[in-house]
Amino acid sequence: MRRHPRTTVIACIACTAVLALTAGLGGCAADESVTVSREALGTVVTITAYGDDEAQVTAAIDGAFAAIAAVEAGLDAYDPGSAVSAFNQTPYEERDLPADALAVLDAVGRLGVGDAFSPALFGVVGQYSFDSSGTVPDAARLAWAVEAAASFQRVGDGGRFAEETLSIPACDVESYPGLDFGGAAKGLALDRAREALRESGGVAAAIITAGSTTVTLGTKPDGGVWRIGVEDPRDTGRVVAVFALEGEGALSTSGDYQRYFEADGVRYHHILDPASGAPAYGLRSLTVAGTSLSGLDSDILSTALFVRGETDALRYASAHGCALYLVDGEGRARIAPAPDGSGVTVAEEAAPRR
């Protein structure tokens, strides 16, 4: 996966994991917890798992990290050996996608956000060179790349893709489409890690965080709630809101501060509107959480609702029973609580920096 700027990663982790772990270690009744952090998914992943037998819990955590690595090996578009890279290297050759890719595509369809979440933006994202100095794309080349992405259609039951617009000049390499699951892979990987912990039999409860996405397994053994902090998009060391999950659930944040550069006073960030290829403007960050969401769902939704903007995001959250916390373009915070009894609450800790 692409690496986020180091400072941002550390800040992300500080916000999510510190709160989670403080709450986690605060006196579990019967079970002990084991916490392990490792580099994965372009960030640091931390797993805190509870169980009676420390050796069993530690082995289960190893299994969870192996599950994360398996997802990464399939979906990392920046690893030349991944299944998705093989696809991207010859995008016009019809071939089956790996099952993990199909899981993402199915979830995008089920959540109804295909207008705002596109897994085919590899060529569009690449035009911005976010991981080097940053480049403002040439408008014509960006338009080609957007069209190439839009022409990438899923066809048939086999999950095959076909390119409909065959007029893209073969010499214009940058306008080739390509798959980029960076907006969803973390969530899927954390779901697989959670299942590995559950199936191990030795873990009663756990919280797994990869900074911008967190999933929980079971109910906290001390009877409390899982607490997950959200950082200030303009002061990433500060917690501005805290979500509380009563049991199993997921939370994801998308923001304009995670990968970006500035040129001529404009912030070019990494969450792009598939319709135009331009960064989606209107919000600084959006966090979505729910006890009925998988990590994959929440990861897709935070990206998609960030693209759709405040009004649509609030409407979607209220129709689907999830909780939202967002910071708008002027630094104003807005909370959309989940319905009573849904097991998720969100409270503002501090006003975001303007």
Of the residues 253, 285, 287, 303, which one makes contact with Mg ion according to CB under 5 A: 303
Contact string (CB under 6 A) for ligand AMP, positions 246-265, x = contact: --------x---xx------
Q: How far apart are the first and last CA of the chain?
A: 31
* 200 in contact with Mg ion (CB under 5 A): no
Mark 62-90 as b/e (b = at least 16 C-beta within 10 Å).
Answer: ebbbebbbebbebbbbbeeebbbbebbee
* 194 in contact with ligand AMP (CB under 6 A): no
Q: How far is the CB of 181 from Mg ion (least distance, A)?
A: 10
Which stretch of DSSP H or E encloses residue 26? none
* 107 in contact with ligand AMP (CB under 6 A): no
User: Distance (Å, rounded) from C-alpha 243 to C-alpha 224?
Assistant: 13
Of the residues 40, 203, 307, 346, which one makes contact with ligand AMP according to CB under 6 A: 307
* 334, 323 Cβ separation under 8 angstroms: no
Instruction: Report residue 110 CA to chain centroid gap.
Output: 17
* 343, 247 Cβ separation under 8 angstroms: yes
Q: Which residue, 236 or 303, has its beta carbon nearer to Mg ion?
A: 303
* 183 in contact with Mg ion (CB under 5 A): yes
Of the residues 299, 323, 324, 344, which one makes contact with Mg ion according to CB under 5 A: 299
* 256 in contact with Mg ion (CB under 5 A): no
Q: Which residue, 51 or 183, has its beta carbon nearer to ligand AMP?
A: 183
CA distances from 170 to 165, 166, 324 (A): 12, 9, 43
Q: Which residue, 98 or 182, has its beta carbon nearer to ligand AMP?
A: 182
Q: Name the residue with the smallest CB distance to Mg ion.
A: 303
* 175, 168 Cβ separation under 8 angstroms: yes
Residues forming beta bridges with residue 344, ordered by sequence position: 245
Interface residues with Mg ion (CB under 5 A) are 183, 299, 302-303
Interface residues with ligand AMP (CB under 6 A) are 116-118, 121, 125, 180, 182-183, 212, 254, 258-259, 270-272, 274, 299, 302-303, 307
